[in-house]
Structure 1
């Protein structure tokens, strides 16, 4: 790919020089006093190097295709030569088109920003009206009836702060350090109090914390 780019640069350079010479001799026939060879060469080379920009503007794949097809490479060379010969017109035309595209893009950007500002101005009162304020409410202390026993408290913390959302019976027993019958009894009580939930999937029964369990856990902390 790098070698192909070097070849393209060499072709654009030579086509620019040759096209500049052709342009110089063509112009000198009509106005020899104002025609300058260095200026023609510089403008020709510049116009030749504008060919990739023109191809990009028209979404052409000629440069990519020229690396695999010699005929496409010759067509690219011809474009560079034509651009160099018609350099005065080409440089002006491409510059005007680029400036026009930039001006159009800026106008569209300004219009979109103005529309966004109008939408934001219209929605701001609605957002402020419909947004609930963050009220700081102190958690109520637990009553003696709500105070969980040690095992239940440990299971709540394990379900709420563990790595997994859905826990197995064996994993809970190991982490809380209680035997299986005690864990089963504790979980059944928690399900009855809506502190924990139970689901059955492909891997068997799994236990999880409910909203009631999260609220109780928050009041315990």
Structure 2
């Protein structure tokens, strides 16, 4: 390998001198420029050989005669450095574009299969179909805090379905009721949490860690026990029809949740949750008088 590098550099220098004197350069060109171009062209020879699928470099390891052929190749490249550099650059770009296009064709079906979009039939969160959760209806309780924090959490929760890695732009806009401008602004705010591939989005490692801080417990309320005082708060033991249990903390003795309400609870431990971190979707038949 060292011998080949030495041959390329020496051939580049000699070829640069030959190029300088053969072409009778104008006054604005110097011998240093010709030598530099010669060395650059000579160093591109291995790339050119790879593009044309030549095994000349491999042959140099066992055949000393091939070293002379390689040196001659480098010398010719250095003498015609400008033309050679342009030719190799164009060829390399064509090969690179071809490989990228082939890679995209191979990867696209994989990404499509890993992308959740608004045409997927089965979208679930913790075993509950997403279609059963009416995010467009006005819930009785919303997540507390500034609206921008709520939308960020709701965005991250769209990635709770681990059957898919990516989420399509149309899916996110439909679920969060956002136009393109607002979605782009949200993506910019989320920063390192989100990876963008075209019009598909995925969580980065930071985003996954952030999502892990939000545990989703969702289902239909089966029973609500009477409140138990706990300091300044009251604790309500809630059992869902899917068997999940929640300890709901509230500052008030009366909370606006009823049996058969469909709830989405965000909790860090999967059980204990403050009432302000619960969203409720209530059917008209369960609204009461």
Q: State the TM-score, normalizing by the size of structure 1.
A: 0.49
Which structure carries more helix by proportion? 1
Q: State the TM-score, normalizing by the size of structure 2.
A: 0.38
Which structure carries more strand by proportion? 2
